[in-house]
Structure 1
């Protein structure tokens, strides 16, 4: 048996952390002296503690690690492989995001060294005044947290495409998202996922056409915030006002774009003259 201090030293985990792991049910001492309260761990628990350390290094939460440790032994290897693959994808997505951030930061530094404002890119965003036609849209409307947007796009558009296939509807346009919330709320935003179809069936509604301020984004969705700001500025400057919820039309399927720079998104602000 190993004292808590010996176990702590071998595994490079503080005794305070080991006591916390015991409290949350991650790993319990093999034996506790009823008189002294001293905690002892068995040699076989070293392997479990090392696995916990490794999973922590993979950025699993303690709750996730606990669930992994509770897997049935006959299925644990297969399920662990699946869990690791999912976590690897998550980490890769974060790495890609950091790479894009570094790339943008490098461009900003280069511009500043040339005496060019960091925000000068806003001047290159073009805005058009267009007349849109009415559309019959198949839709699903959900309250979406900001962290759920990426997964939500695939989930809800997938359901819409499934309905289109099942009911043999005629597809007339690419997916679009309409944002109905009057303000941004990380806890939940009123979001409508829609696709333009020909047939009027249960689950469709009319999206009126009309005058819109329009801008086209070529690149990552992270650029959309800047486009929204530019559109809002243009609307105010040109003497218009918003009359309906803004929406985005995804000209390029993000699943088909090999790099973010290939994605094309149209942003529409329905407006009228003041």
Structure 2
């Protein structure tokens, strides 16, 4: 048997973290002294702590690690394979993202070497007005960090296909906050679908359409503020006002395996004359 301090050295993890693992049921001590509450771990648990460390290095969350270990012990190969495949797909997306970041950094490096202004804004935008028609959408609204939008979109499509619906348009993200908060944003991801649907847990709703001003932005999402600024300036200059949540429509993105500089996003603001 090993004390918690000894097991901490073996597993290269703090005693505080071992207590947390115990609390969430990830790895519990083999024995707890009822008199002084000292924790003791067995030799067979060395494999478990080393497995946890490996899965953490692979980027699994503690909740996912718990599922992996439980499925491995239960010989549930199907569920275990699903978890592994899911992480493989996530890593592929991360690789694409990092490749895109590397490309952008090299472009910045090239500009620096040429003496160019790396912060200059050079894009120009064609701005148009359109009357959007009503259509059925399935959506999920949540308050999340902006970098979690992809996870919310995946959850949305799980619901679409689980309920036998077919997407009929591009994914859109609507933003409801007056003040933008990158780490906690009130947003709604939605996609048009081929029919109305209603169940106890979710149902389609109508996107009401109406008068919108829009433009097309080409480039990485973190620079899309240029398009927002251009639209806001146009709205002010042409005596309109914003009457609802703006939204982004993703025309071309990471799923196409292109560089982020080639992403195509349409940005819409619902408007009316003052």
Q: Structure 2 length as normaliser, TM-score?
A: 0.71
Please show how residues 150-229 of structure 1 align to structure 2 within 5 Å.
150-156=150-156, 174=170, 176-185=172-181, 186-191=183-188, 193=190, 195=192, 203-204=205-206, 206-209=208-211, 212=213, 214-229=214-229
1:137 to 135, 138, 145: 135
Alpha carbon RMSD of aligned pairs, Å? Answer: 3.9
Distance 2:165 2:79 in 1: 34
Larger deviation: 4-13 or 38-47? 4-13
Distance 1:24 1:154 in 2: 27
Deviation at 1:95, TM superposition (A): 3.3
Q: Which residue of 1 aligns with 2:201?
A: none
Distance 1:114 1:182 in 2: 40
Q: Structure 1 length as normaliser, TM-score?
A: 0.71
Q: Which runs of 5+ in 1 are unaligned?
A: none
Matched position secondary structure for 2:180:
coil
Deviation at 1:44, TM superposition (A): 1.7
Change (3 A) 1:180 1:28: closer
Deviation at 1:124, TM superposition (A): 1.8
Q: Which residue of 1 aligns with 2:47?
A: 47
Tell me the alpha carbon deviations over residues 69-125 of structure 1, each in whole angstroms, 9 at most, x when there is no partner. Answer: 3337343444333222222322332333233223223323332343332232x2223
Change (3 A) 1:105 1:233: farther
Does the CA-based 8 Å contact 2:211-2:272 persist in structure 1? no
Distance 2:80 2:44 in 1: 20
Q: Which residue of 2 aligns with 1:60?
A: 60
Q: Which runs of 5+ in 2 are unaligned?
A: 197-203
Distance 1:198 1:36 in 2: 63
Tell me the alpha carbon deviations over residues 221-261 of structure 1, each in whole angstroms, 9 at most, x when there is no partner. Answer: 3442332133324544x454433333334444764x23245
Larger radius of gyration: 1
Change (3 A) 1:269 1:188: closer
Number of aligned positions between the proteins: 261
Change (3 A) 1:145 1:90: farther
